[in-house]
Amino acid sequence: MKILHLCDSLNPAGLGGYESYLHYLSEHLVNNEHVSIVVTQAPERDSPDFVDYEHYRVRYLSGNFLEARKWELFALPKDKREKKASILFKENDLELNIASLENQLLDFIKESKPDIIHAHSTYVVFNRVLSNLQEGGSLGNIPMVATIHGRPKPLILPSGERTTDFESFSDACPFDLVLAVSDNVAEVLDEYLSKKGIDVPVLPLYLGIDLSVFYPIPETKKEWDIAFLGRLEKMKAVDLFPEM
């Protein structure tokens, strides 16, 4: 089976949850004789068309370079970002980017002929691209699945509108099935979708841990009830620890 993975953004430094998840997932899929292609927005204006890794290929789509301009902004010191943002972005950037990506993604789908599309936390861009292509009848019967990797987070769109990623996702949800990485994520996401009258199955599916990489240290003498490495914020669900 040929699987086209979609992700709005991948850190150009190769760091982050989606990056590691897609790496290990693709390795597992290849070992089961499947093919993984990861499609994302180009993080730089001069990004190559694709980069080959051991178990998958990353295909970069430029759009209108909205993603590349985002990383240019993040590379600046925080005190200089606000002034530069008004130069880098314009109010209708998102709409122009989506229109450009529609053509680019459709061309690639016709070229690669995937058996399934698996989107990963496509809150703003590719969920809208897929929705527009679906409404236009361009995708045929390709099944589409989305995996939501975390709880809702604050989001500022290029227009300056303040919202959340879940709210943006519920504005365009063309998927046949949505997988959530925990019961809590599934419950919260279902609330957002229900408010918009979207009837799509939302099922929890825990990602698990690759024990060949992350494994207990048998010789450690320290004892603890629980260890947490990450941001101590509600968006990371640390408030659920007492229940667990």
Q: Which residues pair with 4 in a beta bridge?
A: 37, 117
**Contacts (Cβ under 8 Å, ≥6 apart) of 40:** 6, 7, 8, 9, 10, 58, 59, 60, 61, 67
Output the pLDDT for position 214.
66
The chain-wide mean pLDDT, for the chain, equals: 88
Give the mean pLDDT of 195-216.
82
| Check whether domain 2-214 has CATH 3.40.50.2000, yes or no | yes
Q: Write the CA distances from 214 to 16, 209, 210, 211, integer angstroms.
A: 15, 7, 6, 5
**Prediction pTM value:** 0.84
User: pLDDT-based confidence at 86, cuts 50/70/90?
Assistant: confident
Give mean pLDDT, residues 51-78: 94
Over residues 209-215, the mean pLDDT reads: 68
Of 69, 145, 157, 141, the C-alpha closest to 109 is 141
- Is the pLDDT at 19 greater than 80? The verdict is no
DSSP state at residue 65: S
- Among residues 25, 23, 58, 22, the alpha carbon closest in space to that of 43 is found at 58
Answer yes or no: is pLDDT of 171 > 80: yes
**The predicted structure's pLDDT at residue 215:** 65
The kind and range of the H/E element at 183 are helix 183-195
Three-state DSSP class for residue 199: coil
Is the pLDDT at 157 greater than 90? The verdict is: no
| Closest C-alpha to 65, from 82, 83, 87, 88 | 88
Q: Report the distance separating Cα 190 and Cα 85, nearest Å.
A: 34
Token pair, residue 140, equals 């045929």
Q: What is the model's pLDDT at position 6?
A: 95
